[in-house]
Amino acid sequence: MLVKLWMLFAALGAAGAVMAVTPSGAEVPSGGRSHSMVSLAADTRVEGIAFSEISGLAWDAEEQWLYAVSDRGKLFRLRLRIENGELRAVVPVAAVMIKSSAGSLGQRSGFDAEGLALRRIMGDPAQGSHRMELLVATEGTPRVLRVDPSGEVLGELPLMTDLADAKRYADDNSMLEAVAIHPVHGVLVAPERPLRSEKRPAGHRIQTVDRRWHIQALDPAKSHLKAMDVLDDGQLLVLERSGSGKRLINTLRSVKLETCTGPSPCPMQTLLHLDQAGGAENFEGMAYLGHGQVLLASDNRGKKNTPTVFLLVNPALTESCHNRSRHRGSAAWPGC
């Protein structure tokens, strides 16, 4: 059942509407608040590289590193400090420019990174060795790059013909937006909006190299798919955004792809709905951290006075806050 909670988003600067349910199969940490936030100032620099325009996140659960990529091909490595289910600090540790044999990729080369995922590739089975690489989905030239954590481009992944053709996308700014690793289906990619040949009611396209699904869009006319990740039970988690200007609506929704068998777009379950009157963050990066926790990161669009916001949400705790608020007869319980 979808639970609705009105809480004071004082840290975000406006009152917000939050609706949430617990992700299926999620183990939720005890205590903590339903949301917590940390901001990095717009002038933050990491090894001389400006920390801004974050468009994708990927979580390395084994090594406890957070990776972030910017529109212009900056790759960052960060540590998170989470205590009692609350985000206390985001600490940038290292930064590199994504580079090919021809040199650094960036705005001048038409490079526009949007999605980020992490995958481990097994080495010698006898030794149990493996290596890690990052997958970067791009606009401008739609592709998925294999990138070493050092920033070196290792190669590209194949795409189906229609996704590899830039002319088939709705526009230059609505190409490949998200990439994720699914335990059954492998690498998943998704454009921000339907292709030119697809009608909006067809919903969002989720694609592997040889298979595709269509999932319902929250608002077929206006919503944009911004990021994807996979929950503990294999469900696909999607960040959608709609609205514009001073009102941006961010929604977390999930779907089990194995249940998508018919010709119609597969129905989605809404887990979290962020709707702020008078303003909202431009969330573009998303990573599932496990234990029911989802981390969002905003794109400050390179504005010198706009910080990068990291928001950790715990949908199950949001539901708990709602129940306590209702018991106390208050619309917004201060402990949440």
Q: Which residue has the higher pLDDT, 251 or 11?
A: 251
Query: For 233-279, what is each residue's pLDDT tens digit?
Result: 999 999 999 877 778 889 999 999 998 887 789 999 998 888 765 45
Mention every residue, 6+ apart, whose C-beta is less than 8 A from residue 263: none
> Given this structure, which CATH class describes domain 3-328?
mainly beta
- Which pLDDT score is estimated for 21? 42
Mean pLDDT rounded to a whole number for the chain:
81
Query: For 42-94, what is each residue's pLDDT tens digit?
Result: 999 999 999 999 999 999 999 999 999 999 999 999 999 999 889 999 999 99
pLDDT bracket for residue 140 (50, 70, 90)? confident
Residue 20 has pLDDT above 60, yes or no: no
The model's pTM is: 0.84
Query: For 71-81, what is each residue's pLDDT tens digit?
Result: 999 999 999 99
From the list 4, 35, 7, the residue with the least C-alpha distance to 19 is: 4
Bridge partners of residue 147, in order along the sequence = 134, 153
Residue 183 has pLDDT above 80, yes or no: yes
Question: How large a percentage of the chain has pLDDT more than 90?
Answer: 55
Q: Where are the domains of the chain?
A: 3-328
Give the per-residue SS3 of the chain. CCEEEEECCHHHCCCEEEEECCCCCCCCCCCCCCEEEEEECCCCEECCEECCCEEEEEEECCCCEEEEEECCCEEEEEEEEEECCEEEEEEEEEEEECEECCEECCHHHCCEEEEEEEEEEECCCCCCCEEEEEEEEEECCCEEEEECCCCEEEEEECCCHHHHCHHHCCCCCCCEEEEEEECCCEEEEEECCCCCCCCHHHCEEEECCCCEEEECCCCCCCCEEEEEEECCCCCEEEEEEEEECCEEEEEEEEECHHHCCCCCCECCEEEEEEEECCCCCCEEEEEEEECCEEEEEECCCCCCCCCEEEEEECHHHHHHHHHHHHHHCCCCCCCC
pLDDT bracket for residue 106 (50, 70, 90)? low
| Rounded distance between C-alpha atoms, residue 27 and residue 24, angstroms | 9
Bridge partners of residue 214, in order along the sequence = 205
From the list 66, 75, 116, the residue with the least C-alpha distance to 98 is: 75
Residue 231 has pLDDT above 90, yes or no: yes
| Rounded distance between C-alpha atoms, residue 96 and residue 118, angstroms | 17
Least confident residue range of 11-20, 120-129, 165-174, 300-309:
11-20
Once rounded to an integer, what is the mean pLDDT over residues 87-107? 83
